[in-house]
Amino acid sequence: MQKIWEKDLPLDKAIEQFTIGKDAVLDLDLAPFDILGSVAHVKMLKKVSLITPDDEQRLLRELRELYHKVEEGIFVIEPGIEDVHSQVEKNLIEKLGETGKKVHTARSRNDQVILDIRLFTRSRLAQLRKEILDLFDQLLYLGEKYKDHLMPGYTHLQVAMPSSFGLWFGSFAESLTDDMILLNAVWRIINQNPLGSAAGYGSSFPVDREETTRLLGFDHTVVNSVYAQTGRGRTEKTTAFVLSSVASTLGRLAMDAVLFMNQNFGFLELPDAFTTGSSIMPHKKNPDAFELVRGRCNRIQSLPNEIQLITGNLPTGYHREFQLIKESWLPAFDSLSGCLGITRLLLQNLKIKDDLLEKDIYRYLFSVEEVNRLVGEGVPFREAYRKVAKEIQTGNFQPPEKVSYTHLGSIGNPGFEKIREKMKAVAGEIDPDKAENIMKKLLQS
């Protein structure tokens, strides 16, 4: 098939293959959004009289048929077809002849792919929100369950002060609330319509950009055509910061879990079915799943930097380097989704060891408690500090029998309800179902 940019001039086969890259594989993720974007574009073309009502109905019928093929998993990008845009147009031309060629009227592949990426991102962010909330609920459930189970806290990886498993679980739940704040910000950035900006400089056709904004459920239109094009790369980078932020939360949890499952700590345990063995050491119970979460999340955290390095020195306008971003960026969503799901599964089966602080190695955890007790009796803090330090040095320190914390966010008052209220408020700032419901109507009307 003739390429949609081709001018009947021969192209070297090596150059052709090099420039196509992995688009034919990666673009399958964009297929449903490319088709929905085309549906909105066709409706707009008919509204401004650039195509006839008959053309509109014929195009819409075939586009909906293609969408159903995507849903059924039978839509393919054929060998020799460079991307999803070319494949959709090829299918329309095969079915509709000259009418199929009209789908590209007043549109460039540039604004087409930017639109696909924004619609794809919006959909995956909506899914990510649900997965974050599921893990958040699991963490707070465990926080409540184990709020009275004490554990040692560390600074510099040295025994520091008493903590609890409730505080530990709750810390990651609250971290997810900040991740959600960042997600909301990026949602507002990407939920703007670039369609109609064409190659980045607008069109001499009287397109109605506000109409496609309405049809596709965007909150706003990217007004400036040049900026709409410049948004390529920026969309992926800002979204990568969200993925990286969530990955940072998961990666730290995974690192702690790996450490705490080590026999020298012995805080946590997983059932045999959730660990792996060794080919040579029959006693091993390796936390491979947590380790892979840690590794995958580290890789995701490198994504913003990778995108910055690809796009950082590009001038205004479209450049083919943007194509390279998809190779790391599109798979990152599935990778993070997998990490969220497996982390939740691991947490559901995690066993907490009891009475950890009875071990003698943790007796100095309570040194601050003794300092604070003396201060409460009127001893100046610095003097109390020196007194306890001397007792420790001479081997005369006797830890207190109980710990008393009452302030918000401490062992005795972990504040789970406030964390839950915070997440509820943050999550309620945007409504992903609104856009999804609007998009569904494209396939019905």
278 is catalytic: yes
Does the pLDDT of residue 170 top 70, yes or no?
yes
**pLDDT of the residue at 5:** 47
Contact 209, 164 (CB under 8 A): no
- Residue 177 tokens, joined: 């609330």
123 is catalytic: no
Does the pLDDT of residue 379 top 90, yes or no?
yes
**What is the separation of C-alpha 293 from the centre of its chain, rounded to a whole number of angstroms?**
14
Does the pLDDT of residue 444 top 90, yes or no?
no
CA 398, 400, 406 angle in degrees (round to 5)? 155
Helix or strand holding residue 351 (H, E): strand 351-352
The arithmetic mean of pLDDT across residues 430-440, rounded, is 93
CA 294, 297, 299 angle in degrees (round to 5)? 110
pTM (two decimals): 0.92
- Nearest Cα neighbor of 176 from 427, 432, 348, 415 is 427
pLDDT tens digits along 24-69 = 778 899 999 999 999 999 999 999 999 999 999 999 999 999 999 9
pLDDT tens digits along 108-122 = 999 999 999 999 999
- Nearest Cα neighbor of 30 from 72, 71, 66, 84 is 84
The arithmetic mean of pLDDT across residues 411-436, rounded, is 96
Write the secondary structure of 89-142 as one string of H (helix), E (strand) and C (coil). HHHHHHHHCHHHHHHHCCCCHHHHHHHHHHHHHHHHHHHHHHHHHHHHHHHHHH
Annotated catalytic residue: which of 49, 156, 283, 445? 156
Could you tell me the domains of the chain? Answer: 13-104 (1.10.275.10), 121-358+415-442 (1.20.200.10), 359-414 (no CATH)
Torsion of CA 167, 172, 177, 183, to 10 degrees: 170
Annotated catalytic residue: which of 41, 68, 149, 278? 278
Residue at 345: amino acid letter: L
